[in-house]
Amino acid sequence: MPSKIRPLDDRLVVQVLDAEEKTLGGIILPDAAREKPQRGKVTAVGGGALNKDGSRAQPLLSKGDTVIFGKYAGTDVEVGGKEFKILRESEVLARLKS
């Protein structure tokens, strides 16, 4: 992950994983038919949300986690030819177990 991106507060930087090229039945999908990827790997985590008392909440996710997020969640950015999303921790739907 480029060190140029440092998320703030409860935000995450997620490297978007490539869309599936084949269906479960083995059919190869052309680029136009592929779904927008909704999985990614967390590459950076912010310091956590600010509580009312001024302390920081501990982030639930950590660097290296593979997550599923909403189709239109976050903000798309491109750095060094790689596609990233910056999104809030609350926009993450699930963490995949390895």
**Pair of tokens at residue 13:** 């930087």
**Domain tally for the chain?**
1
Q: Residue 5 falls within a domain, yes or no? A: no
C-alpha closest to that of 69 among 92, 88, 36: 92
**CATH number where 50 lies:** 2.30.33.40
Q: Residue 6 falls within a domain, yes or no? A: no
Block mean pLDDT (10 aa), the chain, length 98: 76 82 63 68 91 90 92 88 90 88
Q: Residue 27 falls within a domain, yes or no? A: yes
Q: What is the CA radius of gyration of the chain?
A: 15
**Residue 1 has what pLDDT?**
42
Q: Residue 51 falls within a domain, yes or no? A: yes
Q: Residue 2 falls within a domain, yes or no? A: no
Q: Residue 71 falls within a domain, yes or no? A: yes
Containing domain of residue 78, as a range? 11-96
Instruction: Give the Cα separation of 82 and 49 in Å (integer).
Output: 27
